Each structure stands twice: as C-alpha cells, then as structure tokens.
Structure 1
C-alpha cells in the first residue's frame, strides 16, 4: 500500500490518490462511482475517529470530495515525491502538465479564492492558474498536527455548563448585539483580569466553536503590513479549524497602525472568519476608530469583589484579623488580580501557617499598577494610636473615619445606601490647624489602622503658573490614585485656597476652577482623600460642606505637651535623671513637631559631647530652634529652668 510512512494517514492518502486519478482520467460513470466509494470511506473513517486532521481542515474550507483528495495529495507530495509513477501522474495532471481541457476544468477548482490561504504564491499572482500549487511548511505543520496551535495561542473551547459571572452579563449582551447587527467588530476593553476572556468563553458556547486568541507583538519600526503578517498564521488556523478569532494587544499599536490593522480585520479577515473580537486593557488611542464598536468591562463593585474573595478564601487558612468586607472595599481589584494576589500570598506563607493580614495586603498592593511618583511621595507609616496625643474628641473623629472605611460596604451595599447616595461614596476629610499639631501623624494613624499606603501630595508643587496645567496635574493625580487603593494626603492645601482668595479679575476665574476641580475630584474619588490646611480662615462654609469629615487641630495644652515630651525620647537615649518634663511642658508652649525637633537637636548636641541629654542641652536646643524659626521668647520667664542656663 502507498504512503506507509504516513502512519494512520496512509490508508486515507491511498484512497485520495486513487480517487483523484479517476476524477482526472476516468469517464463520468467512473467518476460518480469513485465519489460514492470515497464518500462512504470518509464517513466510515470519521465514525471510527480515524479521520486525519488535514481532511477535517479542508472540509472547513468548503472543499468538495475531489478538492479534498487532490489537496491531500499535494500536502503529502514532499514526503512521497517520486515514490510511484501514479503519484507523478496525478501531480502532473493537477499542475496542468499535459492535461486535456476536461482535466483542466476539473482541476481549476483548486484555484478558487477560498483555497488561496493554502498557497501563498497564487494569492499575489496576476495569473494564478500558471502558478504551481505548493504548500508552505508552516501550513503543512498545521494540517499534520505537528504545530500545536494551543501552544502558540490561547484557545477557548465551548465549556459545557459554563456560567458567566453576573457583572459581565451587560457587556456580553452588548457584544452579542454587535455581532447580531453586524455593525462592526466588538472592541472589548477593561483592566487586566476584569473578565475579557470570560466573554470569549461565553461567546464560544453561544457560537458553538472555539475562539483563538492571538497577541500582537508590536515594535515601533513595524509597518501595518508586517503586523498583519503576524496575524496571518492565526487567521489561517481559524479558517482551517473553524475557530473564531480574538486579537489582543491592540493598545500596544502605534496610532498610525491601528486603523490599517482594524480595517484588515473588518474588511478582509471577517470575510472568512465569522466571529472576530478585539481585546485591550484600555481604550487609550482606540476611541472612535471606524469599524470598532466599544464594549467596556468595568472593574466590579465592592459587593462583587467581596463575593469573589469569599469564594477564593473559603478553603484557605487566614488570619482572623482579615475582614473580607474591608479587603473588598480597600482594594479595587479585578477578579483576575484578586486570584493573583491570593496565589502570591500563599507562596509567601510557610506550609501549614495561616495567611497573615500583612502578607495578603502586601500581595494585593503588588497587583496595583498606578504610579504617583511624579506628583506625590509615599510616606512610611510608623505611627499608631499610642503615638497620637490629641484630645478625646479629635481621636473620636479619627476613629469615625476608620469606621466609615471599614463599614462602607455594609452601609452602601447591604443597607443599600448607594440607592440614595449613588455618587461621592469616597471618604473626604479636611484637617485644619497650625503647623506641627498632628495633621500628618493623624493621617499615618489612619493608614496604619486600615493597612493602607499613604501618599503625600505637596499642593505647592501641583500648582502651575501656566493656565490649565494645574487642572491637568490634579486630574493625573486622581487618575493614578484610583488604581492604587491608597490614602491621598494633600499637604499645604493653603496654596490652592489662598490663590482663590487672593485672585482678582481674570485670574479669579482660573483660581476658582482649580479649587472647584480639586474638590470635585476628591468627592468622586473612591478611596480616602485628606486635605490639610494651616489656615482655617481660608476655608469657607460652602467648602466645608463638601467634606464628610472635618477635624480641627489646636496647639497642645500643657498636659498634652507633657505627654509629648515624655514620649519623644526613646528608652535607649541617655537622659539625665535631673530632667522633669513637666517643667518644659509648662515653660515652652511648643507644638508636637517643634518638641520633636528640639529633642533631636539636643540628642545630636549630647552625642557630639559624649554626654547625657540633660536639661541644659535641651534648653540650648530649644533656644536654637526658636532662633531658627524666628520665634520670640522672653528668656527671663524660664522659671525653674533658669538653673540650666547659669
């Protein structure tokens, strides 16, 4: 038997060769009989599950029995070249060598447009019928199964019982309607891990065919034609295997290539592939492209995120301190990133140990992609409740802020307050008071209590003298922060409010625009935004009403100053036994920040002298700090501290 080296395909190819020869040289009756016999053979082979992959692919092209048989012979030509005189004869007839007009009429079917993907040369020829039918090696690999298409691409096959997550239903229905109306190619975009591929899985079930996802690997020097050539391999596979096609990485394309590649997909690829999708992590540079119909998938709300966390954590050992509700509220992650975070936390946890709160939160932060480095700096959170020396009423407000964050999901979702308050669900706070009274420390305490990162925005650097630049900076800050699940601390906010108060004429309009934009962004921000000002008088009542929390800071009284003095020197510092901090708290009406500066200055002085930190050193440091800041003090009022200046 011929084609022995082809293994399981040998018998099939033997039948193809015999049938093709009869079609080319036999009379009508012989051709009919041969087709009946060949059809019965193919059907029986398929029932036994032994039909070669090449036959299935060629059938997907719409090839009749003769064309499938003839193409199979061409496909095997390299391996079987000149093995038999019969093969040589068939090859000659198929290539119009010494063929009669009748034979040429039969063979001409091989040159139809639908078969051009098999023979690249005839696709670009002005006279295809004169070209030799030669399959390229890449295509032969596909037909023979040597190239595993699943290895090069992602393949989403119809899954029995697949259920689409509820939050994706709206986007899926829009995708289906776009295909139904044939109005364009669905352009599905959303953050990484949001569920774009779940849409493809649902589409595979609906369409009854698998979807092949091919990624564009764009380089700046590539032309649109070169990018399209990247996709041709996937394009050929989709046609031969009757797959749908999804193209990913569109957001990596340069703008001049986007339209050309999308036009190829819409006007050429879609002629042969019934279902085509474009996937991207964002719509940047892809809006209003002709032929692309946008389908946005938004990051699910906190309730959906909470359900996802519960589903993934139900069989895991986790720290009792972890609140799933708070986890879902704190980190605005897609389901894919939630799963990645959990897997990372598990990798960093010793076998048999529980997943710690700090470990899980750290893993969540690793999934966040925002970048605030241009306009903000991250503050290392070191202070906790025990370090905060404020009046009880002030501490209550800080505790209320933390509670509002912890229970936002319960109030907004479970108690359905989002129905009456659909906007401004973030936590906005205004801290007002003199410098050094605890505004920054209070922000740190909130961050530590909630296990969140804290970023300080210096408003004096955000402000720009050029019209429109300040607004651009403000928008950029909130755009990045919205990805980061962090606390924004706007320090020196006086810069924008003082500008508003001092503005006049044309500048007044721009100053009001800037301050109003900042407040609007704070209201819309889903996280925590804290605005700090040293000048309470610059804030009017209309502005105050736009903050959920207002905390007024005052300079510490004597008892509070005493507690600050007692805490500011570490236990390891060599303090003299003669020091009575109540004396310092009574004489020096310093803020907490000023006391810390004095303590540090006195420590450096003592270290330089290799001595203890005594009263004389502290008084000297206080004098130096006051001179540095231009503060006036009547040194004749030192009272009992006079003994340290003698």
Structure 2
C-alpha cells in the first residue's frame, strides 16, 4: 500500500489497496498460465504455446482468465479486497474524501470511478507502471489500456465488454470532463481497446489535498479564494441578485469594452455566493481548438474546486451570427451552477441547438462616463493629487475615453514617473500616461505625428484661428455638455468632433492639427486617403472600417489628408461609378459622425464637397492663401531666433516678391540655412534668393530672373 497520510490520501491508499489485491490476482493467473516475469524477451516474441492459447480463448479473453488460483490464495486476496472496501466505507463519513467526492461531482458510475482509479495509480506510485507493463505484455506500455481496465473490472461489474466500451468514448463523462486524457502512441491515436489513458497532474494534486487550478492552463487561469463573508449588493444595477444566480443557475454574459468592470462584477458574484472564483482568460492569439480544450479543462477544475467559473475573452466562442458555439455551450452546461462570461459583444444561443432554452442573462458593461472616469482618477490619486484642479481632472477624463483598467494602469504610470523624478505629481504626467495607455494599433494603418507646435506658430486670419480654438474648447467641454447637461441623450450620433480643413497646399492645415493635438495632449494620426481608396467595390469601406475600429481605442485625432482622392462634386448620377463614389463619401462622413474623438478632413478644393455632405460636419475652416502681410508674419515666425542672419536680411522684400504659402516659405528657409552652413555660417539675402529659385523650380513655376535680383 502506498505511504499516503493526509485524510484524502488515506482514502486513496485504501482504494489502491483494493487495486493491489485485484492486480495480484491477475498476475498470479498469468504466472500459472505459463508467463515468466523473469523472461527479459517477454513481450518481444510470440511462442507457439501462446499463439495456441490465443486461438482457443473466447472473445475478450486474456492470459490466465481460465486459470483458478489455489484456494488459500483466492481467500487471501478476496479478504484483502473486502478489507480495503471496508476501510473505504469507514472513511466516507464527513468530511467526504476527495476521491469519493469526485465520483458524485462528475456523476460517475462505480465502473467509471474504478476505471479512473486504475488510470490514476501510476501517477501516485511508479510501481504500477511496471505492473501494467507486465499485464499488457509490453514493458513500454506503462499506462492502463482499455483492455486492461476491462479485464480488471468486468468480472465484478456485471457488464459485458460491449456494454462497457462506451465509457471510454470521447463523449462519455471520463473524457468529457478531461478526467482521463488519452496517450498517443508514436504520434497516432490508438484503437479503442489499445488506447491508454493518464490523469493530469492538476487532478492528482487536487486529490492529494491541493487547491489550485491545473498547471496546464498556465497564466491563462487565476483562482481567487472565497471571501470570509458574502456581500449584500452588487455595484452594477443590472446584475441579477445572488439568490437568483444560485436558484436559476444561468449563463451570465458580461459584455462591453471595459474588461476590468467585468472582472469586478465576476468577483462580486463569487463573493455573494461565498464561492471561489476561477477566472480563465482566452487569448485572441490562441487557436480555437486550443481555446476549446482550455475551456473544458477549466470546467473540470471549477467542478473540482467548487468555484464559480468566469471565462474572459469569450468572443473566441461567438460566431459571425452572434451565436455561442455549440461546443462552448456544451462545456458550460456541464457545470451545475451559474457560469459567467466576459466578451466585447453579447451573444445568443442557436435556436435549433438542444438545450437552447437554458437561462441566458446579459449585462452590458459600457465604458464609464467622463464623470465616472474623473471620479476613478481622483480615487486612484487620492492623497497625491492635491495640486491638480478638479477641472483638469474632468478635461483629462473627457479627452481620454479609457476603460477602468486603462485608467488604473495610467494612474500608476503617472505616479511612478513623478516619484522617480522626485517631484510632485502634475497634470501633464496624467495626460502623458493616459496617452501612453491608449490603444496604439493605429500605427499599422496610419502615421503618427509628434505635435511640436503652439498657437504662436500658426499665422492665419482671425476667423480660422477663432474657429480652431472653438474646436479645442468643444473637445474639452464635451463631458459637461453631453453628460452633465444631458444633450448626449438627444444625439443618435455626432458625439465626436468632425471638421473640414480646406485650402491650398502649405497653408497650415496639418500644422493646425498638430497644434490642436499639442493643446489637448492627445495623439495625432495622419491617414493618406489616396492610399485608402480602392478601385474595387467595397474595399474602400473595408479600409475605412479598419481605421475607425482601431481608432476607437486610440483616443486620437484622425487627420485624413488628400481627401480630394475621395471627394467629387456630386451632380447627376450617370453611371454605377458615380453612385459608388457618393457611397464612399457618405460612408466616410457617417463613420466620422460615429467616431467619439476628433476627425479632420483636409482638402485643397472646398468646392469638391457637396453641400449635402458638408451639413454633416461640425466645422468647416478655410485656410486662405496668405496675402503679403500674412506672408511677412510667416517669414518672421518661421525664422528661428538662434538662426545666424545678416543684418540686411529683407524679409519684407521676400514677402512682397514671392507669393508663396507657409509650406514653401519653410522650405526656402531650410534650404538657405544649409547653404549658409557651408558658406560663412550666416544666412544672407543671396541664400534666401537661391532657396526661392530652387522652390519655384521644384514647383514647376515660371522663373523670372528679375525676381531674384537684389535691388
């Protein structure tokens, strides 16, 4: 008998004592039938006597099945088996041993239970490997096969071999709950009778007294112990009451973008039911078949640990029609109790699926409102945010539509940065941390622009400057207007900020977007629409959908440049191409309306956008070509104070003589600076004139020599 001393282990030892007596009986019969255990070639050849014996045996017969043991041996082994059974009965009083509890929790018959014990034995005592190798006439077969299990159990089970075989099918309890795992031979599944099984280490450890999920699940699973006392109420009003969960035993779908809220709701449910919580996270990188296997393993562990199962990332088990996959449904139905799932979207049952009338409850856990996010920021920063005004906290919460988990991580990042630098926490730390913890998947679809400019760098007439600042104010005031004042409840769409920047190239459209991003403390992504538009029907919309789907998590300004590639003045639709072009424009503007952040279109020709479309934009800001006075201001603004320049530098002459936009003026200054770097180190008028000549040549404009003569 194995040396097992824990109460659960003592019961297991008694079961193994019964198995020892049963195995000894088979071994003695084999020996009496002529098998020599000392023959080192046994199992590698078949003698004539053995072949004859095989031919004479009935179906399912084994070595020694027709051999009777001497009477004294038979009595001794029968007494040993009965003593072991009596020891097991004596130990079955409360608390129920885990090996016995396993039978009731998984609804195993006595035959299935003993089959499990036979397969379990080598996992707790290696001597069983050698015994099984002997009885299976193959020293390499150290796990029990179906044939061996049947030979050990059928004499007392009252079953025929054909009646017992279904116990080992994949749909049977032992396999469904992953209590027995098949062992492959040479990388191939064996026939049913030759199939051998093992018991996973996690199940063995539980039987020996350990309370932990299976190690095979790795970091995908986490076990939270049962709380010392139950909570009285859930924080979310839609959650069903604790007694409803216990009585109805529903499949409860927690869905929405905020994963942390889902986790907290699951922990509250476990606390209300006074049960441990087994949390399984299905990674999006895992193949579906592996995810299903993880799910069945978690279902088994939840049954063993009497834990409430919570499956995160359940989108892996939702099909294109929004239905739960039948295999996942079957796995959840194996548990006798409520099951919680977390996913981005809700799901339903297939109407034709058996058991589809099972209770399904759904709780939507949307993103926190801006006010709730501000409260969460304040709670996380309590005691360290005295210098940060409440107004700044509200602006922060309004500009970054983060989930609870992202806010928690961002708050930790901001505090760590301030602590590392040995200073007080500042609002800039919070904005930077919020930007870091926003989604960054847009980098694959757009180019991120680092905003470096401020309002003083932008030279425009008063009206467009005022409108740009109004856009910034609108972004910062959205929480107050849409949530506190309730205007958001009246809007089906348009909760974001959409704008059209129109004007010739180089007039400051991209610069203005950078200034806004810098002012708001959020990221700016530039999307070249000319690379998005496709000649294939439907591809343009698919590309745009990918951009906006990723942008939903980015909290960024989307700057759509080269919008002329998609806009065309709408007139009479003459063919399918005209109709489809209008559909593309309409789709883009519709997605801009639905986007909760800031979306900006930049076009060189305002007239290319039909009025029916412009009504859907909140701002249309014209960037005019600069006149002489504005050109002079641009020259002055773009000249860095540290740039060495000649005293006779006549910027007024440059502004008067060359009718150029800000982008071209910047190019001239850069070109002149490089010329000066290798020619005396001071920017002169000749350098500026040379830079202007090159800019005109690059633009393909007519060069008149008189324009480049200093007078």
Same fold (TM over 0.5): yes
- In 1, the alpha carbon distance for the partners of 2:611 and 2:174 equals 75
In the alignment, what sits opposite 1:334? 403
The 5 Å alignment of 1:473-492 reads 473-492=543-562
**Alpha-carbon deviations, 1:450-486, whole Å to 9, x = none?**
0111112222222222222222222222222121111
In the alignment, what sits opposite 1:431? 501
Of 326, 339, 343 in structure 2, the residue corresponding to residue 276 of structure 1 is 339
- In 2, the alpha carbon distance for the partners of 1:617 and 1:423 equals 53
Verify: 1:145 aligned to 2:209, yes or no. yes
- In 2, the alpha carbon distance for the partners of 1:340 and 1:493 equals 37
Which one has the bigger helix percentage? 1
**Alpha-carbon deviations, 1:200-255, whole Å to 9, x = none?**
224324555334233457988x784x665544443333223333333445545797
Of 263, 266, 272 in structure 1, the residue corresponding to residue 326 of structure 2 is 263
In the alignment, what sits opposite 2:697? 627
The 5 Å alignment of 1:203-602 reads 203-205=269-271, 207-216=273-282, 224=289, 228-251=292-315, 262-267=325-330, 270-281=333-344, 295=362, 297-317=365-385, 320=388, 323-351=392-420, 352-498=422-568, 500=570, 504-602=574-672
The 5 Å alignment of 1:93-242 reads 138-146=202-210, 148-149=212-213, 153-157=221-225, 159=227, 160-161=230-231, 164-166=234-236, 169-170=237-238, 172-173=239-240, 185-191=251-257, 193-205=259-271, 207-216=273-282, 224=289, 228-242=292-306
- In 1, the alpha carbon distance for the partners of 2:504 and 2:115 equals 90
Q: CA deviation at 1:448?
A: 0.5
Report the TM-score, using the length of structure 1 for normalisation.
0.75
Q: Which runs of 5+ in 1 are unaligned?
A: 83-93
Shift in CA distance, 288/491, structure 1 to aligned 2, threshold 3 Å: farther
Report the TM-score, using the length of structure 2 for normalisation.
0.69
Comparing 140-149 and 451-460, the one that deviates more: 140-149
Query: Any conservation in 2 of the 1:302–1:328 contact (CA below 8 Å)?
Result: yes
Q: CA deviation at 1:309?
A: 1.9
Query: Any conservation in 2 of the 1:142–1:237 contact (CA below 8 Å)?
Result: no
Shift in CA distance, 463/42, structure 1 to aligned 2, threshold 3 Å: same
Matched position secondary structure for 2:566: helix
Q: CA deviation at 1:562?
A: 2.0
Q: CA deviation at 1:135?
A: 6.7
**Alpha-carbon deviations, 1:161-215, whole Å to 9, x = none?**
375443xx44x459999998788x5554443634222332243245553342334
Q: CA deviation at 1:526?
A: 0.6
Matched position secondary structure for 1:430: strand
**Alpha-carbon deviations, 1:391-434, whole Å to 9, x = none?**
23322212111111111101111122223334211111122222
Shift in CA distance, 197/408, structure 1 to aligned 2, threshold 3 Å: same
Size of the aligned set, in residue pairs, is: 600
Cα-Cα RMSD: 5.1
- In 1, the alpha carbon distance for the partners of 2:562 and 2:153 equals 91
- In 2, the alpha carbon distance for the partners of 1:69 and 1:465 equals 67
Query: Any conservation in 1 of the 2:258–2:367 contact (CA below 8 Å)?
Result: no
Matched position secondary structure for 2:441: coil
Shift in CA distance, 73/7, structure 1 to aligned 2, threshold 3 Å: farther
Query: Any conservation in 2 of the 1:19–1:69 contact (CA below 8 Å)?
Result: no
Query: Any conservation in 1 of the 2:501–2:622 contact (CA below 8 Å)?
Result: yes
- In 2, the alpha carbon distance for the partners of 1:536 and 1:243 equals 63
Q: CA deviation at 1:326?
A: 1.6
Shift in CA distance, 75/601, structure 1 to aligned 2, threshold 3 Å: closer
Shift in CA distance, 5/396, structure 1 to aligned 2, threshold 3 Å: same
In the alignment, what sits opposite 2:49? none
